[in-house]
Chains A and B, each alone.
Chain A
Amino acid sequence: MRRLNELAPDQLRGALQAEGIGLSLGTARVHIRSDVPALAPALARVYGQFPVEEPSGFFDVAPRLELVRRPGQLFRAQLRFFVDGEVPFELFPGDTHLPLLEWGLNWCLADRSNHKLLLHAGVVEKNGRAAILPALPGSGKSTLTAALSARGFRLLSDEFGVLDPMDGTLRALLRPIALKNESIEVIRRFHPDAVLGPRFPKTRKGDVAHMAPDRASVDRRDEPAVPHVVLFPAYEAGAATVLEELPPARCFAKLSTNSFNYEVLGPAGFRAVTRLVESTRGYSLRYSTLEEAVERVQRLFESER
């Protein structure tokens, strides 16, 4: 199967406009269509390593990103995210195609994934052992997740850490990592080979650019991973790097507040997080320099071998 970055730009644009393309992200499969010309090269960059699948079979989300021109706004096109006959949120400015697609996919996936525990977390893995990095926006979660993936960890997800409540394993929901504001330059410097998509200035989350998942992570997106550590990153300008073990009950509480649907799962959620906390160690990681933070995590993985 051909990868997305192997398609000619016109071919991809044509496919998006007509029958669309299928992408397997690990635990979810999506069908994307769009008449926005600029989306094709952006997708080819940030989903470049993903095989292009026939747009047939069953899809978890089948959105369509459409240009809308309203009378009186002839020159200022807007975008709408159309899914299953509905437009679940307001129109976006015309130049924010990829952020809207990603945001809309997140919204749909969150709405449809209550069979799994969804953590607001990055997940990376090495030697079969996974690190979960749950955090609130602004804590440097995505930056650290991107940095770890650049240093040999397999990327499973950035936005949604997907835990199967039945068997306690983590599943990949592999997507581009959305880097915001200063993080974009930080990652460019940290990993000059990183494949970044176009920079979208002034979205509702500030400037955003997406980092493409590497080829190895894409090829292994159907492999589950066993949780090993839970790391709560907290970026703090000028702070020294401090890794501190968290008492399990605190780790439990922080995991549940960093979940999208912990309460929805009810007793199954309680059992899943109990099991997760009992089978992992929890840490808080305060950092200001990415190099040091990554090194601490690498040491942590080596010391606990």
Chain B
Amino acid sequence: MGEQHVSQRWSLRFPAETQICHFDGESLVFNPLSWETHLLNVSAAEVVSVLSEGPQYFDILVGRMREAGMNVQNGVSVEDQLEGLLIELESLGIAIRSL
């Protein structure tokens, strides 16, 4: 399933207004669309942090997440975990697929 995502690019929807604040183990992100604040786990926070550097291809993101320590968990591949996180961030209006 990773195949089709290799060329997909992801970015923050409102990069300048997305604020993130890290505390040990947990992070909070300010959602500039809904003005809600979300509590993020380490992996989701890492995704937002990487995206805040600029738009990223999916496979680059996979590499960055591996570097940050994301492993196969309960038989779920890093790609699938990442995809799940991205879709969740997309539905919150934080992340967006770009061309």
Hey, which bits of chain A sit against chain B, CB under 8 A? 247-250, 252-253, 256, 262-263, 266-267, 270-271, 274, 277
The B interface, classified by DSSP as helix, strand, loop or mixed, is strand
Per the 8 Å Cβ criterion, residues 1-41 of B in contact with A are: 17, 19, 21, 23-28, 30, 32, 35-37, 39
| B25: A residues at CB distance < 8 A | 247, 249
| A249: B residues at CB distance < 8 A | 23, 25-28, 39
In the assembly, what is the distance between CA of A274 and CA of B17, in Å?
15
Contact A256 B19 (CB under 8 A): no
Query: Count the B residues whose beta carbon is within 8 Å of the partner chain — how many?
Result: 15
Given contacts A247-B25, A253-B28, A267-B30, 20 further A-B contacts (CB under 8 A): A247-B23, A247-B24, A247-B26, A248-B23, A249-B26, A249-B28, A249-B39, A250-B26, A252-B28, A253-B39, A256-B37, A263-B35, A266-B35, A267-B19, A267-B35, A270-B21, A270-B28, A270-B30, A270-B37, A277-B23
In the assembly, what is the distance between CA of A252 and CA of B21, in Å?
10
In the assembly, what is the distance between CA of A1 and CA of B24, in Å?
52
In the assembly, what is the distance between CA of A274 and CA of B30, in Å?
11
| B30: A residues at CB distance < 8 A | 267, 270
The 9 A-B pairs at the shortest CB distance, nearest first, are namely A249-B26, A248-B23, A270-B30, A249-B23, A266-B35, A274-B21, A263-B35, A252-B28, A270-B19
Residue with the greatest number of chain B CB neighbours at <10 A, chosen from A248, A249, A252: A249
In the assembly, what is the distance between CA of A167 and CA of B22, in Å?
21
Question: Which chain A residue has the least Cβ–Cβ distance from B31?
Answer: A270
* 10 cross-chain CB contacts under 8 A: A247-B26, A249-B23, A249-B28, A252-B21, A252-B23, A253-B39, A263-B36, A267-B32, A274-B28, A277-B23
In the assembly, what is the distance between CA of A23 and CA of B26, in Å?
44
